[in-house]
Amino acid sequence: MAEIRFEKIEKSFGNVTVIRELDLAIGEGEFFTFVGPSGCGKSTILNMIAGLERADRGRIFFDDTMVNDLSPGDRDVAMVFQSYALYPHMTVRENLAFPLRIRKTCKETMNREVDQIAALLGLEELLSRKPGQLSGGQRQRVALGRAIIRRPKVFLMDEPLSNLDARLRVEMRAELKKLRRELGITIVYVTHDQEEALSLSDRIAVLESGRIRQCGTALDLYLRPADIFVAGFIGTPPMNVVRGTVREKSPLVIDCNGRIISPLTENSPPKSDVLVGIRPDDLAVSHEQEKGSFRVTVSEIEPAGPFNWVDVIWNGVPVRGAARRDEGLVPGEKVYAVFAPENVLVFDAESGNRT
């Protein structure tokens, strides 16, 4: 296990700066995830940890050793690729044994390790098959096994679950967590699926255009997003964002799309134009009018198991809320919606930062 430290890392490809001024520390044994939209630079960071890309500026440390100049084979990292990258001409056994074979491990040890890993991942029956004869989930486990067998300091995973169907993905997530508990390894994980990030990680870094917008636990990111980007990225379905105007600074009174509210914020908004974020699960839609509710028009209903997501129009602005499953809403109906002002988030309209 090792602590990974980035100091002022920068990386460009040609004229495009992909990573700017990255400073980060990943703790020993931590499950750390980089999440963000395509092109935000998360795979590049992973490749830099692995040694497959070199940073243009800055230093990377494993514990106290600077590893910038070390080749991938010398860094004691293991990587699971999105496409698994299994060697097609080798059997599962040979694939698993390959990292040990390169290091000239003796045959007995190799076979012992392979059998151990195969037992751990349920691959015993498949050892003599070739990757072409395996299913997606099986290939993924072989890729995992090939990574685990060296007991590396650091585990790198580049969207390893994105090629699996939904049910398998949920299964594999559980297996990953179990493995993590049993082996106690440092895992650096990359995904574009924020749900996956939230469910697996100790800490998450949200990346956008090569910069970390926020780094923290799942709860931090969900309850206290640093800016509008993080708020909109984390959480399914995405947060509703409506424009608002500050009427009074203290106590804070905001005209939010026609509704006057007094939300709780850590600071005062710097300007009068703000964006107000209301999570869909905080917006209750029903036929009943209650204190604080306002009129909306139903446009779409999307069943979601125990309740329904409801798209409504609020003063001309489309937002999404939740309704009871048996509420019996109909598109075009005029109904009521309500939210608790304590749960909303206020962002400065210009900078996007949360206040």
Partner 1 sequence: MRKTLFYSVLLLVVGYCCGPYLWQLITSLKPDGELTALPPVFPERVTFSHYVSIFRESRFFRIILNSAAVASVTTVLSIVIGSLAAFGLAKLNLRRKGVILGFVLSVSMFPPIATVCPLYLVIRALGLRDTWWGLVLTYTTFSLPLSIWTLTGFFARIPDEIYLAARVDGCSPFQALCRIMLPVAAPGVFTAAILVFIFAWNEFLFALTLTSTTASRTVPVAIALFPGLHEIPWGDIAAASVVVTVPLLALVFLFQRRIVEGLTAGAVKG
Partner 2 sequence: MKRRDGRYIFVAPAIVLLSLVTIYPAIYVFILSLRRKMLIFHISRFTGLDNYIFLLKDDRFWNALWNTVYFTAVSVSLEMLLGLGIALLLNRPFAAKGMVRAAVLVPWAIPTVVSARMWEWIFNSDFGILNYLLGMKINWLGNPSWALHAAIFADVWKTTPFVAILLMAGLQVIPRELGQAARIDGAGAWGVFRHVTLPLLKPVILVALIFRTLDAFRVFDVVYVLTGGGPANSTETLSVYAYKVLFQTLQFGYGSALSVVVFLCVGGISILYIKLLSGIRA
Residues making contact with partner 1 (CB under 8 A)? 50-52, 71-73, 77-79, 81-83, 85-89, 98-99, 102-103, 146, 150, 156
Q: Which is nearer to partner 2, 69 or 182 (CB)?
A: 69
Q: Which is nearer to partner 1, 81 or 336 (CB)?
A: 81
Q: Which is nearer to partner 2, 68 or 116 (CB)?
A: 68
Tell which one of 15, 64, 69, 303 touches partner 2 (CB under 8 A). 69
Structure-block tokens of residue 41: 């630079």
Cα–Cα dist 115/109, whole Å: 10
Which option in partner 1, partner 2, none does residue 89 bind, with CB closer than 5 to 8 A by kind?
partner 1
Which option in partner 2, partner 1, none does residue 102 bind, with CB closer than 5 to 8 A by kind?
partner 1
Which option in partner 2, partner 1, none does residue 69 bind, with CB closer than 5 to 8 A by kind?
partner 2
Q: Which is nearer to partner 2, 54 or 89 (CB)?
A: 54
Name which of residues 27 to 66 contact partner 2 (CB under 8 A): 54
Concatenate the DSSP letters of all residues of 99-141 into one string: HHHHTT--HHHHHHHHHHHHHHHT-GGGTTS-GGGS-HHHHHH
Task: Identify residue 284 by its one-letter amino acid code.
Answer: A
Q: CB 6: neighbour CB atoms within 10 A?
A: 21
Check binding of 165 to partner 2 (CB under 8 A).
Answer: no
Cα–Cα dist 103/150, whole Å: 10
Nearest to 297 by CA among 282, 315, 278, 284: 315
Q: How far is the CB of 146 from partner 1 (least distance, A)?
A: 7
Helix (H) or strand (E) holding 214: strand 211-216
Q: List for the chain the helix, strand, coil content (%; round to 5).
A: 30, 35, 35
Tokens 């009427």 correspond to 247
Peptide linkage before 99 cis (omega within 30 of 0) = no
Q: Which is nearer to partner 2, 53 or 255 (CB)?
A: 53
Q: How far is the CB of 66 from partner 2 (least distance, A)?
A: 15
**Is 229 in a helix, a strand, or coil?**
helix
DSSP 239: P
Q: How far is the CB of 71 from partner 2 (least distance, A)?
A: 7
Cα–Cα dist 160/165, whole Å: 12
Check binding of 182 to partner 2 (CB under 8 A).
Answer: no
Tell which one of 71, 181, 250, 306 touches partner 2 (CB under 8 A). 71
Check binding of 14 to partner 2 (CB under 8 A).
Answer: no
Which option in partner 2, partner 1, none does residue 146 bind, with CB closer than 5 to 8 A by kind?
partner 1
DSSP 92: H
Q: How far is the CB of 73 from partner 1 (least distance, A)?
A: 4
Q: Which is nearer to partner 2, 1 or 52 (CB)?
A: 52
Binding site for partner 2 (CB under 8 A): 54, 69, 71
